[in-house]
């Protein structure tokens, strides 16, 4: 049986004006049994439609801060410079995935973008806007546990991992603020921030705030998340 293809949103280097990729995203998908393909950085709708037609699912990676204009907010001085082409690109891809019921896994920026595209908002900078002693922007090694999350019951994530508490790595300064329409919370950090979401009525649209791409080699829960995504990609086209 041919392996399924996962389209991967590229990362963007402003200084080099170049796309790039953290290999863990690709290896995590490969370890779960699918073939990752890095998509072009473009907001050309026709080009994206042609590329997306070749895929069985979409991986929305980390990277730039989402533009606050996407959730009708003024940009804070603590918000990083956005990559507006990528913002528009992900909006187009996500809308196609929802329309075609293709699986989506959003990691870090990915959960934030899913929330925004469903009408939600973000904390533009956790230290400036959310009082907490929990470490959300850890230093290496990124395979270490930074804090715990509480996995909600019932939720698809609980059904997958069968635990209510999970130690996770953490490397972000923005986070879900107001939950988008049609989304369910699957996990919350020990200080109350939303850490995992799913979209109601979709085959598989999950957002995860932590980083399974760094930890999947050593952490079974990270491998299970990638595998659940890839399994959904198989089911969506079978």
Positions marked active-site: 108, 211, 213
Q: Which residues pair with 147 in a beta bridge?
A: 168
Q: Is 20 exposed, middle or buried (0-12, 13-18, 19+ CB in 10 A)?
A: exposed
Q: What distance in Å separates the CA atoms of residue 104 and residue 162, rounded to the nearest whole number? A: 22
Which among 160, 166, 128, 164 has a CA at the least distance from the CA of 147? 166
Radius of gyration of the chain (CA): 16
Structure token pair of residue 148:
């715990």
Q: What distance in Å separates the CA atoms of residue 55 and residue 39, rounded to the nearest whole number? A: 10
DSSP conformational letter for 68: G
CB 209 within 8 A of CB 195: yes
- What contacts 146, CB < 8 A, 6 or more positions away? 135, 136, 138, 168, 169, 170, 171
Q: What distance in Å separates the CA atoms of residue 67 and residue 62, rounded to the nearest whole number? A: 14
Place of tokens 């796309």: 19
């Amino acid at each position: 049986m041919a392996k399924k293809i996962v389209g991967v949103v590229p990362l963007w280097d402003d200084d080099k004006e170049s796309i790039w990729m953290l290999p863990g995203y690709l290896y995590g998908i490969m370890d779960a049994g699918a073939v990752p393909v890095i998509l072009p950085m473009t907001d050309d709708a026709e080009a994206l439609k042609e590329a997306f037609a070749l895929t069985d699912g979409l991986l929305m990676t980390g990277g730039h801060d989402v533009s606050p204009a996407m959730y009708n907010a003024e940009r804070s001085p603590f918000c990083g410079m956005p990559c507006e082409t990528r913002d528009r690109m992900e909006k187009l891809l996500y809308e196609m995935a929802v329309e075609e019921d293709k699986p989506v896994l959003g990691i870090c920026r990915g959960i934030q973008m899913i929330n925004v595209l469903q009408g939600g908002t973000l904390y533009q900078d956790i230290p400036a806007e959310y009082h907490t002693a929990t470490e959300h922007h850890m230093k290496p090694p990124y395979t270490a546990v930074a804090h715990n999350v509480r996995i909600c019951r019932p939720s698809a994530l609980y059904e997958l991992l069968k635990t209510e508490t999970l130690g996770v790595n953490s490397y972000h300064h923005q986070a879900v603020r107001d939950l988008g329409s049609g989304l369910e919370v699957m996990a919350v950090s020990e200080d109350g921030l939303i850490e995992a979401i799913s979209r109601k009525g979709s085959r598989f649209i999950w957002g995860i705030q932590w980083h399974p791409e760094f930890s999947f080699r050593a952490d079974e829960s990270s491998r299970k998340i990638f595998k659940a995504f890839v399994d959904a990609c198989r089911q969506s086209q079978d």
